[in-house]
Amino acid sequence: MRVTPEYVRRIRFGRAPIGHRGYDPAEVDAFCAALADALAGRAALSVATIRGHEFGLAAPGRRDYDRDEVDAFLDRACVELESARYGPARPQVAWPPSPEYVSRLRFSAPPLGRSGYIADEVDAFREHVAALLAQTATGWDTAAIRPVFGTATAGVRAYHRGEVDAFVDAVAALVS
């Protein structure tokens, strides 16, 4: 789903898991309204401002937004905002990349205090893509190209969600 001003205005986030405090909904909703205006070109909002913004936690016992869900959405919104301002990113390598390039590809750790995707799951997907690139164009399963990675818990090696999502989007574009 493309992140448009209309999409941002309509988005609804899930509740934080039981036992976890989530973001204050009023603060997130206000920030999303500003983001929608920025995507529509009516306001200035930099990617650095989005990435650096820290939401307050909801009061105990109040309805709150799932922090991981909000953070993942904002990562996608940053990519869309940059694309709207500067045009689509141009790959640094020839596309499609070689299987060797994909095998060597590494992702950054998530920003401090943010969750990321389980690195072992992402690595397995990356190696699967490398193996498919080494073969002919057969064997591409569209469902497998849009994997659902688990969220890493404390102490589990993790990758930055935005970087992994961009790679998955590029692979999906290659298949379609």
Quick: pLDDT tens for 32-63: 999 999 888 888 888 888 888 999 999 887 87
Q: Per the confidence metrics, is the pTM higher than 0.85?
A: no
Cα Rg of the chain (Å, integer): 18
| 104 lies in the same domain as 158 | yes
Instruction: Decide if 91 is inside a domain.
Output: no
Report if residue 121 sits inside a domain.
yes
Secondary structure class of 159 (helix, strand, coil): strand
Strand partners, 118: 158
Per the structure, how many domains does the chain have? 2
Do 111 and 81 share a structural domain? Answer: no
Token pair 């070109």 is found at 41
The answer to whether residues 106 and 52 belong to one domain is no
> In terms of domains, do 77 and 124 share one?
no
Structural domain of 68: 5-86
The predicted-structure confidence for 66-79, as pLDDT tens digits, reads as follows: 998 999 899 888 88
Helical packing angle, 161-175 and 67-86, nearest 10°? 60
Task: Let me know if residue 37 belongs to a domain.
Answer: yes
Do 66 and 122 lie in one domain? The reply is no
Q: What does the alpha-carbon distance between residue 38 and residue 45 come to, in Å, rounded to a whole number? A: 6
